[in-house]
Structure 1
Amino acid sequence: MKSVQSVYEAKAHLSSLLSEVASTGVTFVICKHGVPIADLVPHRAVNDPFEVKESLAGAEYLTEPTAPLAEDDWPEALR
């Protein structure tokens, strides 16, 4: 559920808004002169892109991934 707050109200009650977002996961839309300018949303943890996935253990490249491609490897429309 999204709740709309003006910049003035959000600034005056930021601490309580943050607490509510953290505890309930509610999203707030911050508006300036009635125009939405920002969303206050719960934080989502980002997966580590360098984490080794168990499901990929033992996977190997079939070709050299950094080798240059031949001209025939590119579709005609993208040359």
Structure 2
Amino acid sequence: MRIVLAAAVVAGFLAAPAAAAQPTPAAPPAAQRAADKPPFPYADCIKATKKRGESKRYGKWHCDQLVKKGWVRPPKR
């Protein structure tokens, strides 16, 4: 029983440096990260709804709902 326990401890010590040595993925540039996160511009939302085939009225309603949730910036008036 002691041999099994000792083998498990040794295996754990050998695996720890290998796990720590794995490289971490590179982060995207700061400008790309900022562009991928909400809030998105209202005009982009309208373009996306038009591209998806939503009616003008439904697209405006849809984008207004996303403004309420914080995913889209309110339109500039």
Q: Same fold (TM over 0.5)?
A: no
TM class by smaller structure: under 0.3
Structure ranking higher in strand proportion: 1
Of structures 1 and 2, the one with the larger relative CO (CA 8 A, separation 6+) is 2
Structure ranking higher in helix proportion: 2
TM-score normalised to structure 1 length: 0.22
Structure with max Cα Rg: 2
